[in-house]
């Protein structure tokens, strides 16, 4: 089993949601998968080309309708099959995120508690922002896409994000309290 990246499958999946152009793919991922997946144009365009080469997608080059150049991609049957094969495959290891805050905290005896508390507050604020973003995405899915077959699963991933963020915020509060007690 090769250790290939899942970026290809992320794009394959997004192509089933109605996104057709590289630009639209980037937008959807930034807006809806942002809490567990990131991507750059430097990856998207080469992968799209590769998908066509492998017969997983077709492309229509439409520079006709007065608008700027635009390439629209469509999954082939083989492409859908490839996506389903990947969905069936067992997940590899759970990811280990590199966390700068925890790294600093680990070595914080070399720093005053004041500074450590500042970092924790900073982190907490960022988590709260993220939490609010999740709430906003959740609302827009419930308002505009509740009829969408995908919606249920999108809400599951959002729920994950919300819960993790909430726990992390609580941990920040408790850790700050413990540092202040001294």
Partner DNA sequence: AGCGCCATGTAACCTGTTACATGATTTC
Partner DNA sequence: GAAATCATGTAACAGGTTACATGGCGCT
Minimum CB separation from a copy of itself for residue 58, in Å?
19
Identified binder of DNA from the candidate list 18, 31, 38, 54, rule CB under 7 A: 38
Binding partner of 76, given DNA, a copy of itself, none, CB within 5-8 angstroms per partner class: none
At residue 3, φ and ψ (nearest 5 deg) are -95, 40
Distance (Å, rounded) from C-alpha 36 to C-alpha 158? Answer: 10
Identified binder of a copy of itself from the candidate list 64, 67, 98, 181, rule CB under 8 A: 98
12-31: which residues touch DNA (CB under 7 A)? 21-24, 27
For a copy of itself, give the closer residue by CB, 70 or 150.
150
Tokens for 88, please give them: 């069936």
- Does residue 78 interact with a copy of itself by CB under 8 A? no
Q: Considering only 47-55, 56-64, 65-73, 98-106, which stretch makes contact with a copy of itself by CB under 8 A?
A: 98-106
How far is CA 134 from each of CA 40, 112, 121, 140, 161, rounded to the nearest angstrom? 21, 34, 20, 10, 7
Q: How many chain residues bind a copy of itself (CB under 8 A)?
A: 66
- Does residue 52 interact with a copy of itself by CB under 8 A? no
- Does residue 5 interact with DNA by CB under 7 A? yes
Minimum CB separation from DNA for residue 98, in Å?
6
What is the three-class DSSP state of 83?
A: helix
How far is CA 124 from each of CA 79, 110, 168, rounded to the nearest angstrom? 42, 22, 8
Q: 148: alpha, beta or left, given left = phi > 0 and alpha = psi -120 to 50?
A: beta
């Amino acid at each position: 089993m090769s250790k290939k990246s899942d970026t290809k499958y992320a794009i394959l999946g997004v192509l089933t949601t109605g996104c057709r152009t590289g630009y639209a793919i980037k937008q959807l991922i930034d807006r809806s998968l942002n809490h567990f997946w990131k991507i750059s144009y430097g990856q998207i365009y080469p992968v799209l080309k590769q998908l066509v080469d492998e017969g997983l997608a077709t492309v229509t080059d439409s520079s006709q309708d007065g608008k700027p150049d635009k390439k629209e991609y469509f999954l082939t049957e083989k492409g859908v099959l490839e996506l389903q094969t990947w969905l069936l495959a067992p997940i590899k290891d759970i990811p280990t995120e590199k966390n700068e805050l925890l790294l600093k905290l680990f070595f914080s005896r070399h720093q005053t508690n004041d500074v450590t508390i500042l970092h924790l507050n900073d982190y907490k604020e960022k988590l709260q922002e993220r939490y609010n973003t999740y709430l906003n995405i959740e609302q827009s899915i419930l308002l505009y896409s509740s009829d969408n077959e995908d919606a249920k699963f999108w809400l599951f991933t959002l729920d994950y994000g919300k819960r993790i963020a909430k726990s992390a915020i609580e941990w920040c509060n408790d850790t700050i309290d413990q540092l202040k007690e001294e």
